[in-house]
Each structure stands twice: as C-alpha cells, then as structure tokens.
C-alpha cells in the first residue's frame, strides 16, 4: 500500500515539526533545567528581545497565554466599568471574554464575508459615547484592513488592541506603502504561543507588543501583581509570566518562523491548485493589503452541506475543524436578543477548516482534495 495512504492525517503535526529541530530544542531545554532558573531566567529576556527585533516593536512583554495578554492590555489602558469595547462576533471567545471579565461591555459587530475579519462599516455603526476601544482580530492568518480602523480610532479617541493570536508573521501594507507586522499596528498588540499557533511553545505562553514606553511600563507592572518594586503594589494587577522553558523553546522556534510561514503558504497554494473549480466550496480569499501566514485554511461550504462534508472526511480518515460553530452573540454567555449579524451567522453555518501545518506533504494534500471532490461528485 502507498505510504501516503497509510499515513495518519493530522490537523497539526507538532511531533513532526519537533523532530526537525530536536537537537536545538533539547539543548535549550536542558540548559534551563541545568540552570534551574525556571522563572525569569535569561531565555525570557533573550526571546523578548529577539521577538522585538523580528517584529520591529519597541517593547515585547511576555506573559502566560494569549487570553492573559488581552486582559492585561485592557487593564493597562485603565478602562472603567461600563466602557464599551468593539469586537467581532466571529472569533474565538477569548477576544470578548476578557472584556466581560473586567466589567466592560463587549459590543459585538459583524465581519467581512470574504476575509472573516472585522467589517469596517459594522464597526463604525457600533460607535457610542461609551466606546473606548476596538479589538480587531487578525483571523486565520491575515491582517484586518488596519488603515481605516486606525483612522476611525484616531478620529474618535479610541484605543486599538490587536488580537494577533493567529497571524504572527503576517505583514500589513498601508496605502502609502509602509509595511509593518501585525501586532505592531495599534496601541497594543497581543499574541498567543499555544502549541498549534504558527509560533507555538510546548505549553502555554503569550506576549504583548507596544511602541509606547508608558504603556509598556504599565503592562509590565500589571502582569507582575501591579508592582514596579517587589512588595510595593501600585495598581491591581495579575500574575502572568512566560516560564523559562517555554521561552527557550520559543527562542529556538522563532529562528524558524519565516520557514514555517513559507511552508504554510506553499501548502495553501497546493490546496488552491488541487481544489480550484470544485463546485460546492469557496476557497479562502487573500486580501491585497496583507501577506497571509495561513494559520487555518478555511473553506465555505455551500447549500448547508458543511456537516455532511465533515462527516465524509472523517469516514476517510481526514480530520477537519469548525472555527467557529456559533458566533459570539449566539453563545449563552454573550447572547444579545434581537442582535442580527448575518455574515457571522452564515459563516458559523458554512466554514470548515482543513488540516494546515508545516509538515503537510503533497501526497497527503492530494488525498484530502480527492476526498473533498469525491463528496461533491467530481
């Protein structure tokens, strides 16, 4: 039997990726264990500096995870109970969760059908006298259209907190030709190093980005129990830090991030070539103002057949995922009766993500594409 047919297909192949950098990672972890500097060891500072150099951010502050990063960002901005924060309804719950946890009001808005990212007109209509911030989520690997978002925020005195958990390494191009990495465009950028992310550690981790030195100081203080000096607590803070072992892993993997992004881009191009012209699905769009680092390769399935296609793929040994089955305004915790966000609702009923990772082979992708085409009778 062909080896490709025997090979187990995975949504993410972290072990295969690890084997390629095993010597580097093992040595980095061994160094931390040998030093026993498990919290705040040298690798944390080295990684933060390397990530700042990579992205061009003036300040990178590591933390415990991506959700913490979002919460710390909002805490550092000094928002008050009842203040409103605009956030897309088609995203992972953490983007809205932190808003509610802090006693703020998440104002859910629709997204663009083509890009899955925040819809500019929906955002503009959501503005009230209580609006204080907007969280654009760079979903699935490409940037939101940040120029109009930043202009809107500047015109109304709003903070911009980027949720860059899924698009680290993507580059946004402004209308005047300037180029910057996602996560460095707003007042604060936030990211996650969850293992399946494009830059993932071997546990939990996150980071915040800012060019504002005062914000950077408040972020550091907030993430460290609200203290600048040990045992002297100036503000209410939290305890969120990246441990040294995870920083050591990330320091190694950051050196390979461009390689990882290129591998995902090659895989996306292969999917596009293999599935082009297949009736019943719509391939993901690439916006002209951003590079795409393909955290997910997400189809839109027509005629309400998404769940059938998913079952068919499962029967062929092919995993797939639904990101996300419910828009946030249909979640019990965030339900808003009477709120209609038709694009987010339609996407929740039609999206299906295929396996996407750095270790995908042409043979495996051919097998996946054949199964998709088989379902639609091609």
pLDDT tens digits along 13-24:
999 999 999 999
Tell me what pLDDT residue 7 has: 76
CATH for 17-254 is 3.40.640.10
What is the structure's pLDDT at 378? 57
Residue 129 has pLDDT above 90, yes or no: yes
Mean pLDDT of 301-315: 98
Pairing, β 188-192 against β 159-163: parallel
Q: Worst-scoring range by mean pLDDT, 1-5, 67-71, 72-76, 345-349?
A: 1-5
- Give the residue extent of every domain in the chain: 17-254, 257-375
* Confidence tier at 377 by pLDDT (50, 70, 90): confident
Mean pLDDT of 87-98: 98
Average pLDDT of the chain is: 97
| pLDDT score of 1 more than 50 | no
pTM above 0.85, yes or no: yes
The reply to whether CATH 3.90.1150.10 applies to domain 257-375 is yes
Question: Residue 191 in contact with residue 207, Cβ under 8 Å?
Answer: yes
Per-residue pLDDT tens digits for 188-222: 999 999 999 999 999 999 999 999 999 999 999 99
What percentage of the chain has pLDDT greater than the value 90?
Answer: 97
Q: 248, exposed or middle or buried, with CB in 10 Å at 0-12, 13-18, 19+?
A: buried
């Amino acid at each position: 039997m062909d080896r490709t047919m025997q090979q187990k297909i995975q949504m993410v192949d972290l072990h295969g990726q690890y084997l390629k950098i095993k010597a580097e990672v093992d040595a980095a972890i061994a160094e931390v264990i040998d030093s026993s500097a498990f919290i705040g060891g040298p690798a944390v500072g080295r990684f933060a500096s390397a990530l700042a150099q990579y992205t061009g951010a003036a300040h990178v502050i590591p933390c415990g995870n991506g959700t913490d990063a979002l919460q710390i960002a909002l805490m550092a901005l000094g928002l008050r109970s009842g203040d409103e924060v605009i956030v897309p309804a088609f995203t992972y719950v953490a983007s809205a969760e932190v808003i509610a946890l802090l006693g703020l009001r998440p104002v859910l808005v629709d997204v663009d059908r083509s890009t899955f990212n925040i819809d500019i007109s929906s955002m503009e209509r959501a503005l009230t006298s209580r609006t204080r911030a907007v969280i654009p989520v760079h979903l699935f690997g490409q940037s939101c259209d940040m120029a109009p978002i930043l202009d809107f925020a500047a015109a109304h005195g709003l903070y911009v907190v980027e949720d860059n958990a899924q698009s680290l390494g993507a580059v946004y191009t402004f209308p005047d030709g300037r180029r910057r990495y996602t996560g460095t465009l707003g007042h604060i950028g936030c990211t996650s190093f969850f293992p399946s992310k494009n830059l993932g550690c071997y546990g939990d981790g996150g980071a915040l980005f800012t060019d504002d030195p005062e914000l950077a100081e408040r972020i550091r203080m907030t993430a460290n129990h609200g203290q600048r000096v040990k045992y002297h607590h100036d503000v209410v803070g939290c305890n969120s830090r990246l441990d040294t072992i995870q920083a050591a892993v990330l320091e190694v993997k950051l050196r390979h991030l461009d390689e990882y992004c290129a591998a995902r881009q090659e895989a996306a191009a292969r999917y596009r070539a293999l599935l082009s012209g297949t009736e019943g699905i719509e391939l993901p769009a690439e916006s002209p103002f951003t590079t795409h680092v393909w955290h997910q390769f997400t189809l839109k399935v027509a005629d309400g057949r998404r769940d059938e296609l998913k079952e068919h793929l499962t029967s062929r040994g092919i995993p797939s995922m639904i990101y996300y089955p419910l828009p946030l305004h249909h979640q019990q915790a965030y339900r808003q009766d009477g709120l209609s966000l038709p694009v987010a609702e339609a996407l929740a009923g039609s999206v299906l993500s295929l396996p996407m990772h750095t270790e995908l082979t042409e043979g495996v992708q051919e097998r996946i594409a054949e199964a998709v085409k088989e379902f639609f009778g091609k």
